[in-house]
Amino acid sequence: MTLNLHDTATRQTAPLGPVQPGAVSLYVCGPTTQGAPHLGHLRTFLAFDVLVRWLERSGYEVTHVRNVTDIDDKILVKSAEAGAPWWAWSLRFEREFQDTLDRIGNRRPTYEPRATGHVTEMIALMERLIERGHAYPDGAGSVYFDVASHEGYGSLTRQSLEDMQDAGEEAEPGKRDRRDFALWKAAKPTEPETASWDTPFGRGRPGWHLECSAMSRKYLGETFDIHAGGLDLRFPHHENEQAQSHAAGYGFARRWMHSGVLTVDGLKMGKSLDNFVTAARALADHPTPAVRLALVSGHYRATVEYNATAMREAETVWERLRATAVRAAERVGADPLAATEAPLAEVELPADFVAAMDDDLAVPEALAVLHREQAALNTLLGARDEAGTHAIAASLGRLRAMLDVLGLDPLGAQWRGEGGTATAEHAALDALISAQLAAREAARAEKDWARADALRDALTAAGIRIEDGRAGARWTLENRD
């Protein structure tokens, strides 16, 4: 079977033919470390995490680069407002992004280069563009790309230069054409001295577009397989990245993949509109794998509207999947805590699951196959037929292998402890605590506050933390974080 992926440049879905057989090079535009990660960021990074997982499952060796934009206007403004050095601000949120992505089960990229670590490469690229007649310094520390000099400008987003007369870019005194964009930005007297670097063109700092062209070339070479990011980045960011790299004579990305944006009331979730739900908030309100499930369930190219009901539904779906897997593991007598990931990679995936994933990562169809497997497994579990153990083990293997492709194997190392653990001890503890919680509920219903508090205090004293939520009380062990 062949993996077909949609290319947003050609608008065609076509087989992936990598530059190097058996290896895929992928560049994903990473976070601007101006603030805490929100669900919109997670949506995009998870979409491409599923891509990486599927490429690896399909036998490719993946080199995945995701940059960190650790200097930019917004970082300078926000850090100054907070009275912090820009680099401290940036490093703080870089760590928060990494921690959150680890927590939600994103495989770490092969390389995570920071913009400020690649000034040398950016200067070299600017020199090359100037030499080839595609860029010019303004004499005051800024360098601009000359859009009219590059025939292909606009080809990624199918726009002609005429259409772009008033597109986005500001008129600046040193610009030849309003549509020209900055490769390098002159230092401003109001900005901290540490926020600029000396170059042959004057003192300044990286433009956002330039850093991605410089870093993709350094880590993936002149030509690489896939360039990815959220749909919001197609223009101007990706158009400009492509113009810089093509004008420099590099093959650059052979294919573009864009994830649909996460919206709130139809508008992109983001810092600019202040309509975001932070990852920290969502992960405090819902089990982490449920948040992951909610964000990966739709097709990666679909626009996803955030809503609290969908998050709660994902919680239910996750709980059921986990319960099925735990029951099945207990029936086959496997010790789920000893289960390793290795054998899952060898489980043969159902053909219709593979077909769905090979069809431009059709996760909704793949999930339908997965839920059919879950239903079949539940039927086997209900049959109470000892002879069925072999069938149960085989079905559990397939279910886990499919879930693993989505980063959601309930018995895998990442989620073993989430929302309960897959051990008999845990089940026993859960039954006892649930009885206590039910008694507390009953006491509250009778307005017997003293008894309700006493029950809670007894649980707290035993190291059990109770969180009251809309779906009832949830318990966790104090020392488990």
Ligand X SMILES: Nc1ncnc2c1ncn2[C@@H]1O[C@H](COP(=O)(O)OP(=O)(O)OP(=O)(O)O)[C@@H](O)[C@H]1O
**Site for ligand X, rule CB under 6 A:** 29, 31-32, 40-41, 43-44, 229-230, 232-233, 259, 261-262, 268-272
Q: Which two tokens stand for residue 360?
A: 């431009």
- Contact between 52 and Zn ion by CB under 5 A: the answer reads no
Q: CB of 418: closest distance to ligand X in angstroms?
A: 24
The stretches of 333-419 forming alpha helices (DSSP H) are 351-358, 363-383, 389-405
The stretches of 104-149 forming alpha helices (DSSP H) are 119-131
Q: CB of 260: closest distance to ligand X in angstroms?
A: 7
Cα–Cα distances in Å, from 36 out to 74, 96, 255, 278, 334?
13, 7, 30, 7, 40
Helix axes 389-405, 351-358, angle to 10 degrees: 10
Q: Which is nearer to Zn ion, 212 or 357 (CB)?
A: 212
Neighbours of 307 (CB within 10 A): 12
- Contact between 261 and Zn ion by CB under 5 A: the answer reads no
Q: CB of 32: closest distance to ligand X in angstroms?
A: 4
Q: Which is nearer to ligand X, 92 or 203 (CB)?
A: 92
Q: CB of 191: closest distance to ligand X in angstroms?
A: 19
Q: Which of 371, 373, 387 is nearest to 332 (CA)?
A: 387
Q: What is the DSSP-derived secondary structure letter of residue 193?
A: G
Q: Which is nearer to Zn ion, 271 or 465 (CB)?
A: 271
- Contact between 212 and Zn ion by CB under 5 A: the answer reads yes
CA distance 5 to 467: 43
Amino acid identity of residue 216, one-letter, is: S
CA distance 145 to 270: 28
Q: Which of 86, 46, 85 is nearest to 66 (CA)?
A: 46
Q: Which does 44 bind (CB under 5 to 8 A by kind): Zn ion, ligand X, none?
A: ligand X
Q: Which is nearer to ligand X, 70 or 358 (CB)?
A: 70
Annotated binding site for Zn(2+): 29, 212, 237, 241
Q: Which does 298 bind (CB under 5 to 8 A by kind): ligand X, Zn ion, none?
A: none
Residue entry with tokens 């949830």: 474
Q: Which is nearer to ligand X, 230 or 407 (CB)?
A: 230
CB 14 within 8 A of CB 7: yes
The residue with its CB nearest to ligand X is: 230
Q: Which of 335, 390, 314 is nearest to 104 (CA)?
A: 314
- Contact between 28 and Zn ion by CB under 5 A: the answer reads no
Neighbours of 327 (CB within 10 A): 18
Q: Which does 440 bind (CB under 5 to 8 A by kind): Zn ion, ligand X, none?
A: none
The three-class DSSP label of residue 212 is helix
Backbone angles phi, psi at 152, to 5 degrees: -80, 5
Annotated binding site: 29, 212, 237, 241, 271
Q: Which does 270 bind (CB under 5 to 8 A by kind): Zn ion, ligand X, none?
A: ligand X
Q: Which does 282 bind (CB under 5 to 8 A by kind): Zn ion, ligand X, none?
A: none
CA torsion 415→291→283→424, rounded to 10°? -30
Candidate segments 175-183, 208-216, 260-268, 325-333, binder of Zn ion by CB under 5 A = 208-216
Q: Which is nearer to Zn ion, 29 or 403 (CB)?
A: 29
Q: Which of 343, 332, 322 is nearest to 415 (CA)?
A: 322
Annotated binding site for ATP: 271
Among 29, 46, 262, 282, binds Zn ion (CB under 5 A): 29
Q: Which does 232 bind (CB under 5 to 8 A by kind): Zn ion, ligand X, none?
A: ligand X
Q: Which does 262 bind (CB under 5 to 8 A by kind): Zn ion, ligand X, none?
A: ligand X
Candidate segments 96-104, 158-166, 207-215, 351-359, binder of Zn ion by CB under 5 A = 207-215
| Contacting positions for Zn ion (CB under 5 A) | 29, 212
